[in-house]
Amino acid sequence: MLTGSLVALVTPMDVNGEIDFPTLRKLVDWHIEQGTNGIVAVGTTGESPTVDVEEHIAIVRAVVEQAAGRVPVIAGTGANSTREAIHLSNKALEVGASFGLSVVPYYNKPTQNGLYQHFKSIAENTALPTLLYNVPGRTACDLSNETALKLAELPNIVGIKDATGNLERAAELVKNAPKNFAIYSGDDASTLPFILIGGHGTISVTANIAPKAMSEMCAAAAAGNIAKARAINDTLQGVHRHLFIEANPIPVKWALEKMGKIQAGIRLPLTRLSENAQPTLLTAMNEAGIH
């Protein structure tokens, strides 16, 4: 089972919004050097809503090629169209992804039965192992624990990213899920307690700018070294919070730009971090020793 800190990787772009593949490859190398345990390519943090299918698969291919087997690559394969999600899953498998991360369908608000049938259809029509992704704050649709646990019984549904930030729900998943079903936090601020109650790791936005710290914090928490894990997490609390001062990935792309890691590119309808928000995030970065 894949454990630890998995980065929800941004998609670097130039000032015109074109994908910057050389920088993408450099980010992959940097994350591996810093101890990141897995890389999520073209998830929602990677601006999946604004890249077309050809770009989407090209990004996954580039990340797989650059990772070269050093860490697993999880491809964002979600869509609010079941057919599109299946297509993306099969294409990601073709270019070498190890897993797919499939978000709860957004906007069309299916019933729990619709969600079950959606993910069941994906599982039955691709050989790519699939992780569920529940983020009701962004999708306007909540995958219930009951439905998630029912899906966990399917052979090709292998885990879930739970971005609810609700530790009571997480504890229920940990208690009742099959032993080999991976449960990841999708909320950086609650990742530490999430792991301490039995979660297997995190799919993290913070790891974009603090990969070593997130990896070490997850490892310490999993090993039961609460003092070390808490000390690391304490330095990151401001970053966890203020990376969402505007809609993700606006703040994290600005932070990476300030660090000299990427160019100032982002696609509409997202825009560069507002000037009023920049000092707040910069202060949090400085407090965490991120430069």
Residues taking part in catalysis: 133, 161
Do residues 35 and 58 lie in contact, with contact meaning Cβ atoms separated by under 8 Å? Answer: no
Helix, strand, coil tally for the chain in percent (to 5): 50, 15, 40
* Token pair in block for residue 151: 């899906």
> Rounded to a whole number, what is the distance in angstroms from the first to the last CA of the chain?
33
How many C-alpha atoms does 192 have within 13 Å on its Cβ side? 21
Do residues 214 and 9 lie in contact, with contact meaning Cβ atoms separated by under 8 Å? Answer: no
Residue 210, number of CB atoms within 10 A of its CB:
27
Do residues 87 and 53 lie in contact, with contact meaning Cβ atoms separated by under 8 Å? Answer: yes
Do residues 76 and 10 lie in contact, with contact meaning Cβ atoms separated by under 8 Å? Answer: no
Give CA 166 to chain center in angstroms: 17
Which residues fall within 8 angstroms of residue 93, CB to CB, at 6 or more apart? 100, 126, 127, 128
